[in-house]
Amino acid sequence: MIRKLAVLATALILTACIPGEIRAPIAVQEAERDVVRFGDISFTKLADGVWQHTSYLDLPGIGPVPSNGLLVVDGDRTLLVDTAWTDAQTDLILRWAETVLTKPVSTALVTHAHKDKMGGIAALHQANIATWAHPVTNVDGPANGFEPARNTFRFNGDGWATGAGAASFSPLKIYYPGGAHTADNITVGIPAKSIAFGGCMIKASSSRTLGNLADAVPEAYAQSVRNFDAAFPDAAIIAMSHSPAESRKAIARTIDLADDL
């Protein structure tokens, strides 16, 4: 039994972006922020019309591991950045957007091919939501057991999404900084709200490690974070996958850690 639990934990870690750090209990973390609960999903308001969704997966020997994404209200619709860990959790996010925000999710993207970012993509397809991903994500996703997104972003030489993909997410800006946490990690900016989402590539300013590097591109990591930094110079709020949103100090700390790879 112990061996089976160890194997399960290892498998889950390799399909997610687990930072190798101990966290305070969930209740303590949420008490420090303005958090709304809906079922087992947490929602934190980052700005008017911008919410961070947080889902948890309980890993043996580790405990509940949070994963964050975004909901961005745009007119009568909501744009979703990343699913929850599971289809059931992602269903809750969709229900919350429809019943609480009263703006159903119409379009979604996943930022790379790990469980914490696209584990609930089947729920999006069941709800007939348009899904988008990096070309590599749509190859690696099925290899990791996930449905591919139904649409594929195209990026220009400067890393910006172009064409129908870019238009589908306006006013968000979709940016590929280069390989870092994974070869396919993409990032998202919301210029009107001074927010940028670095996904699993960016770590908190208090982080001691870069977390899971099983699928990383270590030789490019630091430069890719610098590219993200330059792409969204006016973003005062930096959101990320496994820690609360904070200042640009998170970018600086991630660069410091990546320079040591």
Q: pLDDT per residue over 145-195, tens digit each?
A: 999 999 999 999 999 999 999 999 999 999 999 999 999 999 999 999 999
Average pLDDT over residues 14-25: 48
Residues 35-83 pLDDT 10s: 999 999 999 999 999 999 999 999 888 899 999 999 999 999 999 999 9
Domain presence at residue 62: yes
Q: Check whether 119 has a pLDDT greater than 50.
A: yes
Do the strands 195-197 and 237-239 form a parallel or antiparallel pair, or are they unpaired?
parallel
- pLDDT of 6 strictly over 80: no
Domain span at residue 59 reads 24-259
Residue 15 lies in a domain: no
Average pLDDT score, the chain: 91
Residue whose entry in the numeric block shows the structure tokens 């969709």: 94
Q: Binning pLDDT at 50, 70 and 90, where does residue 16 land?
A: low
The pLDDT of residue 62 is 86
pLDDT of residue 43: 98
Residue 258: which of 175, 150, 179, 152 has the closest Cα? 179
Q: pLDDT per residue over 139-149, tens digit each?
A: 999 999 999 99
CATH code, 76:
3.60.15.10
pLDDT digits (tens, 9 = 90+) for 200-258: 999 999 999 999 999 999 999 999 999 999 999 999 999 999 999 999 999 999 999 99
Instruction: State pTM to two decimals.
Output: 0.90
In a domain, 232, yes or no: yes
In a domain, 12, yes or no: no
Q: Compute the average pLDDT of residues 129-136.
A: 99
- Per-residue HEC secondary structure of the chain comes to CHHHHHHHHHHHHHCCCCCCCCCCCHHHHHHCCCEEEECCEEEEEEECCEEEEEEEEEECCCEEEEEEEEEEEECCEEEEECCCCCHHHHHHHHHHHHHCCCCCEEEEECCCCCHHHHCCHHHHHHCCCEEEECCCHHHHHHHCCCCCCCEECEECCCCEEEHHHHHHHCCCEEECCCCCCCCCCCEEEEHHHCEEECCCCCCCCCCCCCCCCCCCCHHHHHHHHHHHHHHCCCCCEEECCCCCCECCHHHHHHHHHHHCC
The structural domain count of the chain equals 1
Higher per-residue pLDDT: 113 or 60: 113
- Those residues with Cβ within 8 angstroms of residue 233's Cβ, 6 or more apart along the chain or in another chain: none
Angle at 254 between CA 232 and CA 58, to 5 degrees: 105
What six digits make up the tokens of 111? 């930022």
User: What would the mean pLDDT of 84-105 be, rounded to a whole number?
Assistant: 98
C-beta of residue 46 within 8 angstroms of C-beta of residue 193: yes
pLDDT at residue 14 tops 50: no
44 alpha-carbon distance from chain centroid: 14
Q: Is 238 inside any structural domain?
A: yes
On whether residue 7 sits in a domain, the answer given is no
Q: Which residues pair with 221 in a beta bridge?
A: none
* pLDDT for res 18: 53
- CA 188 to chain CA centroid, nearest Å: 9
Residue 17 is assigned to a structural domain of this protein = no
d(CA 229, CA 8): 36
Query: In the predicted model, is pLDDT for residue 20 greater than 60?
Result: no
Residue 13 belongs to some domain of the structure: no
